[in-house]
Amino acid sequence: MSVAEVFWINGPVLKARPQGSFSMKESVSVGPDHLAAEVIRLEADAITIQVFEDTTGLKPGIEVHGSGMPLAVELGPGLLGQMFDGIQRPLDRLADAHGDFIDAGSDLPNLDRERRWRYEPVTREGANVEGGQLLGRVPETSNILNHVLAPPGLAGVLEWQAPPGEYAVDKTVARIRTARRLEQVSMLQRWPIRTPRPCRERLTPDAPLFTGQRIIDTLFPIAKGGTSAMPGGFGTGKTVLQQTLAKWCDADVIVYIGCGERGNEMADVLAEFPLLEDPRTGRRLMERTVLIANTSNMPVAAREASIYTGITVAEYFRDQGYHVALFADSISRWAEALREISGRLEELPAEEGYPAYLPTRLAEFFERSGRVVTLKGDEASLTVVGTVSPPGGDFSEPVTAHARRFVKNFLALDRERAQARFYPAIHPLQSYSDYVPHTTRWWQSHGGIRWDERRGRILALLQEQSRLEKMVKIVGRDALPAEQRLILVCAEVTVEAFLKQSAFSENDRFCSPEKQVAMLQLAAAFAEHTWQFVAHGGDPDTLAQLPIVRRIQRMGDDIAGDRLAEFEILRTELEEQFHALLSSVTVTPAATS
Ligand SMILES: Nc1ncnc2c1ncn2[C@@H]1O[C@H](COP(=O)(O)OP(=O)(O)O)[C@@H](O)[C@H]1O
Ligand SMILES: [Mg+2]
């Protein structure tokens, strides 16, 4: 393999004089400790590399060794339930082997070689196989079956299959005779992280990634296979929201990337996730989760790599036919890593010091999402959801502005709402989803018959509320005609009852489609009755005193998802109270001001 001699060191970026040839994106190791690194620039007489580990103490003169291969991750049984760093080093096993601090150049394999997996061959010997085709199965965890597939790009005759049995991840379990040679195939595949894994066909999304968060599912749906950005200033609830989605969304497999956030926040995730119960199976959520952690105190180049490591792992499960959701918290910290490395390379900076290729890199990342037909022939999806942390909450800064161009779902987290402890602090007038047409049919088959119509009405109501509130600031609420005050009352009830949802409420942290529909119907019934009341001359501002209003505002919290019949009781109460109210209104419609 090629060797180079380091002559320039600037933080995680090194330059070295090559003897022999290196290629772009080649994985290399640096110095006597074999620090993991990658070639990021090639010149006639120098290579530039970024080092994924701490470079303190490195001196010019040390050697860089090429590997002849691009930076890759190991894919196979043993990913689920694990925590890795940005270049897929196994944090749990490293902590067991070395204590809490990762030693430089630690050479533990990414996937455990000691563990044995129960492999069951499914394709018969003598069959023609192509890349992505099923060879065998491994029950990886209690709820996820690992589908061992022929590596993409391979085609030939399956000459030999291992008999059912227990094998290490790198043990040959199949031999495929290709036109050129006999390939030994194990459960383990390596895949370069910066290259998207292939699929047979890309499809348009046709269902939501159901999250159980009303403001998302009902107003701003995220599609399975779609993209979403959640920008918000510090403390607006980005991390809580992402974790809530990771816990409750209806994806089969979750990849969670803690990217550049503070160590203590990530420590919470690392401590909490393993304890979480999977609402779908009652077992551990970790059994279908892969965590990737690269906190702010870890090397910046590994942070840059972490989102590619994460998305490659996510694609691997997609290729097995699963619906995968990837959460990255935060895209901004990744972009800052990119900026830092670019700065050390002395590249010409574009907006706010970010490199000119920031938008391209962002686009490439989000483009790896999608609903697809896999090489194996299944319909599967990869949904990508990233938080964005704009400095000062300013959405016009480059990372937010560019991310916005490449996602179809945009959930703007609002500081004022968060300060008022209104959660989730998603601002309904600054957020949007282009997936509404793709999710209408799904809602129809889940009880939301007139979902898009109701959705449109709520948004119109909220828009009107915002307009009227501006007027109220000038002329005062009392100066508004009754109809306009009524709009304010209805909007306030809807916001409080429907949009507010605590991540920490036992009954309300997850809201089923049926419960969302029931709540929407009740809010609509409330609005209809109030119109009648006002049409008969009632004063909208007296409505707030009705006991039913308080009950409606608390219905999400009060009524558990499996007690939907209680919404009927609430509806009866609503009708009774309005009936009583109407009979007490003596003014005739003609007398209304
Ligand atoms: N959906 C929610 N329900 C209840 N409380 C929330 C919710 N989202 C955020 N919070 C509160 O706000 C705090 C800050 O949220 P966090 O997600 O850490 O913000 P960010 O990641 O945007 O800096 C949390 O510790 C929690 O107390
Ligand atoms: Mg956060």
Q: Which CATH number characterizes residue 251's domain?
A: 3.40.50.300
Burial of 585 (0-12, 13-18, 19+ CB in 10 A): middle
Position 93 in a domain: no
Any ligand 1 atom below 6 A from CB of 389? no
Residue of 216, 234, 239, 240 to mutate, ligand 1, most atoms within 8 A of C-beta: 240
The CA 560 to ligand 2 mean position distance, Å, reads 29
The CA 388 to ligand 1 mean position distance, Å, reads 15
pLDDT recorded at residue 284? 86
Which ligand has the nearest atom to the CA of 233?
1
Any ligand 1 atom below 6 A from CB of 393? no
Mean pLDDT in consecutive groups of 10 residues from the start of the chain, 593 residues = 94 95 95 94 95 93 96 97 93 70 69 96 96 96 94 95 98 96 96 97 97 97 98 94 92 94 76 80 88 88 95 98 96 96 93 96 97 97 97 94 97 96 97 97 90 93 97 94 94 95 92 94 92 89 89 94 93 93 66 45
Six-digit token string for 170: 């790198």
pLDDT recorded at residue 255? 97
Any ligand 1 atom below 6 A from CB of 212? no
| CA–CA distance, 255 with 259 (Å, rounded to integer) | 12
* Domain's final residue, options 414, 441, 468: 441
Domain match, 297 and 164 both: no
* Domain's final residue, options 71, 94, 122: 71
| Contacts for 377 with CB less than 8 Å, ≥ 6 apart | 200
Q: Which string of b and e fits 228-250 if b means at least 16 CB within 10 Å? A: bbbbbbeebbbbbbbbbbbbbbe
Domain match, 469 and 580 both: yes
Domain match, 431 and 456 both: no
Six-digit token string for 256: 């969670």
Any ligand 1 atom below 6 A from CB of 82? no
Q: Work out the end-to-end distance of the chain between its first and last CA atoms, rounded to an integer number of angstroms.
A: 89
| Contacts for 181 with CB less than 8 Å, ≥ 6 apart | none
The CA 330 to ligand 2 mean position distance, Å, reads 8
| CA–CA distance, 103 with 493 (Å, rounded to integer) | 56
Amino acid residing at 265: E
Domain match, 433 and 291 both: yes
Q: How many domains does the chain have?
A: 4
Q: Give the CATH number, domain containing residue 152.
A: 2.40.50.100
Domain match, 172 and 304 both: no
User: Phi/psi zone of residue 554: left (φ > 0), alpha (ψ -120 to 50 degrees), beta?
Assistant: alpha
The CA 178 to ligand 1 mean position distance, Å, reads 54
Domain match, 417 and 459 both: no
Position 168 in a domain: yes
* Ligand 1 atom with least separation from CA of 232: 22
Distances (CA, A) of 41 to 13, 23, 58, 230, 288: 11, 9, 20, 33, 37
Domain match, 404 and 535 both: no
Any ligand 1 atom below 6 A from CB of 237? yes
Domain match, 350 and 223 both: yes
Domain match, 393 and 462 both: no
Domain match, 242 and 170 both: no
Q: Which domain holds residue 26?
A: 3-71
- Angle between the 451-475 and 436-444 helix axes, to the nearest 10 degrees? 120
HSE-up (13 A, CA, CB side) for residue 427: 20
Position 521 in a domain: yes
Position 99 in a domain: no
Domain match, 385 and 530 both: no
pLDDT recorded at residue 431? 98
Q: Give the CATH number, domain containing residue 43.
A: 2.40.30.20
Any ligand 1 atom below 6 A from CB of 233? no
Position 96 in a domain: no
Domain match, 413 and 513 both: no
| CA–CA distance, 492 with 481 (Å, rounded to integer) | 17
Six-digit token string for 590: 């003609």
Position 535 in a domain: yes
Amino acid residing at 369: S
Burial of 114 (0-12, 13-18, 19+ CB in 10 A): exposed
Position 347 in a domain: yes
pTM of the model: 0.94
| CA–CA distance, 86 with 255 (Å, rounded to integer) | 13
Any ligand 1 atom below 6 A from CB of 235? yes
Position 85 in a domain: no
**DSSP letters for 29-88:** EETTTTEEEEEEEE-SS-EEEEESS--TT--TT-EEEEEEEE-EEEESTT-TT-EE-TT-
* Domain's final residue, options 417, 441, 465: 441
Pick the closest to residue 564 from 522, 527, 524 (CA basis). 522
Do 27 and 70 touch, CB atoms closer than 8 A? Answer: yes
